[in-house]
Amino acid sequence: MLVQGARQTGKTTLVRARWPDLAYVNFDAIEDRERLRDVPAADWARTVGPAILDEAQKAPWVFEKVKHAFDAKRIAFSVLLGSTAPLVLNRVRESLAGRVFIHSLWPLMPSEILHPADRRPPAPLLDRLLRGSESVDATLREERPVLIGDEDANRRRAVDHLAAWGGMPALLPLDDEDRRDWLRSYQQTFVERDLVDLARLEDAAPFRAFQRLAMIRTGELVAWASIARDAAIAPTTARRWLDHLVQSFQVVLLPPYHENLTSEIVKAPKLHWIDVGLLRHVTQQWGPLTGQQFESLVVAEIHKWVETTATDARLSHYRTRSGLEVDLLARTPHGLLGFEAKNRAHVVASDARSMRAVAEAAGPAWRGGLVVHTGHALAPLVPEYSIWAVPLHRLL
């Protein structure tokens, strides 16, 4: 089994609690790497045996040794953990093909913040929309228009925490000052330990500048030449460094929708930063979320849910050269869903103009759309196209 995800998302805690009898090896420690590097593959089962192998991407040779022991039927199970995606390495991907179950662990989602003690918190409304076969209208018309009392307040408090500090589990019990200190330490560790290894950096300063520029551009189309120019690096370096951010679970590059529904589509991916807390620390933007940051929050949470639950949904954005834009489209086995993020408490039918055009072009494949906002009321917005206004804390 491979469990991968950003540093400090709780991979080690989760796995050691689930399999307490397995030996534990941490390849973050140089002495562990050096001690086991020279162990022959034929002796791996006898020397290490079934084990939890943490930060495995720092010892890529370990995948071959585990494969050899597994194929020889000398071990039946091990868990490898990685804070960057080990399977981007060709030889690792080939070694594990057909032999490994892969799970990605992301920062906490609102349902997990709301139910911190539950091993399996209740699925949010988003799950029903993505997995269901009904139209959005059929799913939402049975929902209460407004929640009241503690139910509403607690859901909103979970989303507010996510928007203020991000979803790293260690931040939950801390006060605000300690949260800032924790984020500062996390950023330093992430760049100096993970990225220096992954990107083979001799000087981390140019990457820090590039990372900040990428954060400022969250919610925007990726323009390689522009970000490379502003960071004073080559476009090929910008592409490579952005790939490193994707591989280390910091960024999602949302691909463009592949069909021309209304007019010629823009084919550039859209950049979304996964964790708002780290973004706020690096950019020092501690005020209200901007519209682009709110959009990234919505997209990131939907992405995290799809990846965590292995939901059959292909996520993309839609933008045409004529100016139509939908923040997120989700292609499911039962049809197409649209999501538009609006960082305000009240939305109107004109906020769904682009989504309406996509709905007309998609025809029977269209299941409906959501204009996600910060207010309280869940209500139909464009009934003829099954488009609803949905508060973020109701969706997640």
- Type of residue found at 375: G
Q: Is 288 helix (H, G, I), strand (E, B) or coil?
A: coil
What the block records as the tokens of 135 is 């139209």
146-202: pLDDT as tens digits:
999 999 999 999 999 999 999 999 999 999 999 999 999 999 888 766 776 666 666
CB 350 within 8 A of CB 342: no
Query: Residue 93: which pLDDT band, with cuts at 50, 70 and 90?
Result: low
| DSSP state letter for 349 | G
24-73: pLDDT as tens digits:
999 988 888 888 998 998 999 999 999 999 988 888 888 889 988 988 98
Residue with tokens 């207010």: 375
Q: In the chain, what percentage of residues exceed pLDDT 70?
A: 94
For the residues 106-129, what does the mean pLDDT come to? Answer: 90
In this predicted structure, the answer to whether residue 310 has a pLDDT above a threshold of 80 is yes
Give the architecture-level CATH label for domain 2-104: 3-Layer(aba) Sandwich (3.40)
Task: Dump strand ranges (E) for the chain.
Answer: 2-4, 23-26, 51-54, 79-82, 102-104, 220-221, 251-254, 270-273, 314-319, 325-332, 335-341, 366-373, 379-382, 387-391
Question: What are the distances in angstroms from CA 6 to CA 23, 246, 395?
Answer: 22, 10, 24
In this predicted structure, the answer to whether residue 122 has a pLDDT above a threshold of 90 is no
Residues forming a β-bridge with 80? 2, 53
List the one residue out of 162, 159, 125 whose CA is nearest residue 141: 125
What was the pLDDT predicted at 58?
84
Pairing of strands 387-391, 379-382: antiparallel
In this predicted structure, the answer to whether residue 90 has a pLDDT above a threshold of 50 is no
CB 48 within 8 A of CB 162: no
Phi-psi region of 390 (alpha: psi -120 to 50; beta: other; left: phi over 0): beta
Query: Residue 376: which pLDDT band, with cuts at 50, 70 and 90?
Result: very high
Q: Cα(252)–Cα(260) distance, rounded to whole angstroms?
A: 23
What was the pLDDT predicted at 86?
59
Of residues 332 and 322, more confidence is placed in 332
Query: Residue 96: which pLDDT band, with cuts at 50, 70 and 90?
Result: low
In this predicted structure, the answer to whether residue 339 has a pLDDT above a threshold of 90 is yes
**Long-range contacts for 170-177 (Cβ within 8 Å, ≥24 apart)?**
170/8, 171/277, 172/108, 172/113, 172/116
Q: Which residues contact 155 (CB under 8 A, 6 or more apart)?
A: 110, 114, 147, 393, 394
In this predicted structure, the answer to whether residue 95 has a pLDDT above a threshold of 70 is no
| Beta-sheet strand order (sheet of 379-382) | 314-319, 325-332, 335-341, 366-373, 387-391, 379-382
Q: What is the mean pLDDT of the chain?
A: 91
Query: Residue 92: which pLDDT band, with cuts at 50, 70 and 90?
Result: low
Q: Is 324 helix (H, G, I), strand (E, B) or coil?
A: coil
What was the pLDDT predicted at 199?
65
Q: Cα(211)–Cα(191) distance, rounded to whole angstroms?
A: 10
Answer yes or no: pTM beyond 0.75. yes
Residue with tokens 């503690």: 150
Phi-psi region of 340 (alpha: psi -120 to 50; beta: other; left: phi over 0): beta
Query: Residue 308: which pLDDT band, with cuts at 50, 70 and 90?
Result: very high
Query: Residue 78: which pLDDT band, with cuts at 50, 70 and 90?
Result: very high
Q: Cα(387)–Cα(359) distance, rounded to whole angstroms?
A: 9
Domain boundaries, the chain: 2-104, 110-395
